Amino acid sequence: MNESNHHDVIVIGGGPAGSTVARYAAANGADVLVIDGRDPIGTPLQCGELVPSNDEMRRLCPNVPDMDELFRTPEDAISRRSTEMHIVPPSGKPLKFDFEGLVLNRVAHDEALVELAEENGAKYLVDSHVERVTGNQVIVRGGDTYTAKVIVGAGGHNDPLRRDHWDESSLKIPVKFVLMDGDFGEAVELHFGSMAPGGYAWMFPKSSGANIGLGIQRSFSKGISLNQYAKEFISKYDGDISFRGAGSLPMSGTIRTFVKGNYMLVGDAAGMVLPSNGAGITIAMIGGRIAGQTIAQHLSEGTALEEYEHRWDRQMGKVMRNSKRAFRVGSLLFRLPNWMLNLTFNRLTKGIIWRAVTCRRMFWIL
């Protein structure tokens, strides 16, 4: 075997999860190769592009340390800063909340994460699709084989390591979105109800235009296609469409184990999306930092890789549990007819709804 094909760590996928694993593992002395099927990484766009500001992240995930060190979003990756979120029921009458959000240029955001990992010493192999992993071998399309002591699956919701070596399934919601030209105000909007059964719809204004889309649970959709729901929701907004995209989001939260022997999962591959609000980018990076640091300690000091799961649980366990619970309650609620749902979105329930969206306990028992 060619020496350059052997590494301490191979990371499958160079998205927010994989590039963050690579950044922290390499910064702490590991020899890391990231293999990604795309070139350039991050294209084509598959995202609504909203992340909470660092201050908002501190409120959302209070047990996660050093947010400013983790999230160093460069100015050119920020399209607009928003200070308000509207939660909109089918009536169209929003509940308004203070919310500091960054609407990203997601492609530039992911490029910056690749640069950060490279500055710390990680190497990238792009345009190389990983077909399968067996033992300590990662086999890419065309037959080239790479080996590593630790192999990380950060390939998103279709990650090959997860697919072949884990048998737990995740609920995935299919998503469609567009970039639309025009002026859409300041507030980011999340819409809940029959316009996006079992999921939600969004309108996130950018410096120019907006990112507009929705995701549904197919079991809620009464035979109507995602295309139809998307067409109907998007047609409420006025403007020329400059881009159309689609994807899929794991919405049942984290899976039971992230580590099997010398294999690890992180990001969407491990279900690291907060189901009550769809946040995946920042959560993948939180998981990525913990995984990268743990791998480096494993290689230098023999720390067990399972320590990654314990550290994740200490930092994110409570937030994820609350978010899963809110999603389950929401899924029941959103089966209600529109008129009842409209009644449940009111001044009295406003605080509870915000607690659910921001992953806090809604009531003392729930």
Ligand X SMILES: Cc1cc2nc3c(=O)[nH]c(=O)nc-3n(C[C@H](O)[C@H](O)[C@H](O)COP(=O)(O)OP(=O)(O)OC[C@H]3O[C@@H](n4cnc5c(N)ncnc54)[C@H](O)[C@@H]3O)c2cc1C
Q: Scanning residues 198 to 217, which ones bind ligand X (CB under 6 A)?
A: 213
Which residue from 8, 9, 10, 14 is in contact with ligand X, where contact means CB under 6 A? 14
129 lines the binding site for ligand X (CB under 6 A): yes
Residue number with CB closer to ligand X (33 or 305): 33
Which residue from 7, 8, 15, 271 is in contact with ligand X, where contact means CB under 6 A? 15
Q: Which helix (H) or strand (E) holds 87?
A: strand 78-88
Residue number with CB closer to ligand X (51 or 216): 51
Which residue from 155, 209, 271, 275 is in contact with ligand X, where contact means CB under 6 A? 155
* Residues 103-137: b if buried by 16+ CB within 10 A, e if exposed: bbbbbbbbbbbbebbbebbbebbeebebeebeebe
Give the relative orientation of helices 106-119 and 16-27 as an angle to the nearest 10 degrees: 20
Q: Give the span between the Cα atoms of 178 and 46, in whole angstroms.
A: 10
41 lines the binding site for ligand X (CB under 6 A): yes
Which residue from 32, 47, 60, 180 is in contact with ligand X, where contact means CB under 6 A? 47
Tell me the backbone φ, ψ of residue 324, rounded to 5 degrees: -60, -40
| Cβ atoms 287, 267 nearer than 8 A | yes
In terms of C-beta density within 10 A (0-12 exposed, 13-18 middle, 19 or more buried), how is residue 326 classed?
Answer: buried
Q: Scanning residues 253 to 282, which ones bind ligand X (CB under 6 A)?
A: 267-269, 273, 278-282
Residue number with CB closer to ligand X (82 or 322): 82
Segment interacting with ligand X (CB under 6 A) among 79-87, 157-165, 234-242, 303-311:
157-165
Which residue from 9, 22, 26, 35 is in contact with ligand X, where contact means CB under 6 A? 35
CA 323, 218, 180 angle in degrees (round to 5)? 80
Residue number with CB closer to ligand X (64 or 341): 64
Which residue from 89, 101, 156, 292 is in contact with ligand X, where contact means CB under 6 A? 156
Residue number with CB closer to ligand X (17 or 26): 17
Segment interacting with ligand X (CB under 6 A) among 36-44, 76-84, 324-332, 336-344:
36-44
- Rounded to a whole number of angstroms, the minimum distance from the CB of residue 12 to ligand X is 5
In sequence order, the 6+-apart residues with CB closer than 8 A to the CB of 73 are 51, 102, 104, 109, 112
| Cβ atoms 37, 124 nearer than 8 A | no
Q: Which residue is nearest to ligand X (CB)?
A: 280
Q: Give the span between the Cα atoms of 9 and 138, in whole angstroms.
A: 11
Residue number with CB closer to ligand X (199 or 341): 199
Alpha helices in the chain (DSSP H): 16-27, 54-60, 67-70, 106-119, 160-165, 226-234, 281-301, 307-312, 318-333, 338-344, 350-357
Residue number with CB closer to ligand X (175 or 203): 175
Which residue from 22, 88, 114, 130 is in contact with ligand X, where contact means CB under 6 A? 130
Q: Other C-beta atoms within 10 Å of 231: how many?
A: 11
Segment interacting with ligand X (CB under 6 A) among 116-124, 158-166, 253-261, 326-334:
158-166
- Rounded to a whole number of angstroms, the minimum distance from the CB of residue 284 to ligand X is 4
Residue number with CB closer to ligand X (46 or 303): 46
Q: Give the span between the Cα atoms of 306 and 38, in whole angstroms.
A: 30
Q: How many residues does the chain have?
A: 366
| Cβ atoms 150, 264 nearer than 8 A | yes
Please report, as ranges, the residues that interact with ligand X according to CB under 6 A. 12-18, 35-38, 41, 46-51, 129-130, 154-156, 158-160, 175, 177, 213, 247-249, 267-269, 273, 278-282, 284
